[in-house]
Copies of this chain bind each other. A is one copy, B any other.
Amino acid sequence: MDQLSSTFAALADPTRRAILARLTEGPATVKELSEPFDISGPAISKHLRVLEKAGLITRGREAQWRPCQLDATPLREVAVWAENYRRFWDASYARLDALLTEMKENEK
């Protein structure tokens, strides 16, 4: 699976997006990350592995804790990808598009 696909796949789960949101406040242990959720530890571990494989988090090793840290690099690619579609949702870009199309028509 390519980078963008695995990033999108990782972001498709609300629990994982909530984990990323929590990590914007700083690193956290697995226990801390699991507290807001009503699911088991292993379920959180799986989510973290998905996020790690997508390159969205990095994990350290401190005694019995495995602190997680946000790595937003793949999100830049997401933003760049989405921005390519801006002209299809942005009204002013749409008007610009229409203008350019009209000018092309007049050329003929």
Contacts and interface: CB of A to CB of B under 8 A. Distances in A.
12 contacts: A8-B9, A8-B11, A9-B9, A72-B89, A75-B82, A75-B88, A76-B82, A76-B89, A79-B79, A79-B82, A79-B83, A82-B82
Interface in A69-103: 70, 72-73, 75-76, 78-79, 82-83, 85-86, 88-90
Given A82-B75, A86-B79, A12 B17 contact: no
Q: How many copies does the complex hold?
A: 2
Contacts of A75: 82, 85, 88-89
Classify the secondary structure of A's interface with B: helix
Interface residues of A, number: 27
A107 interface: no
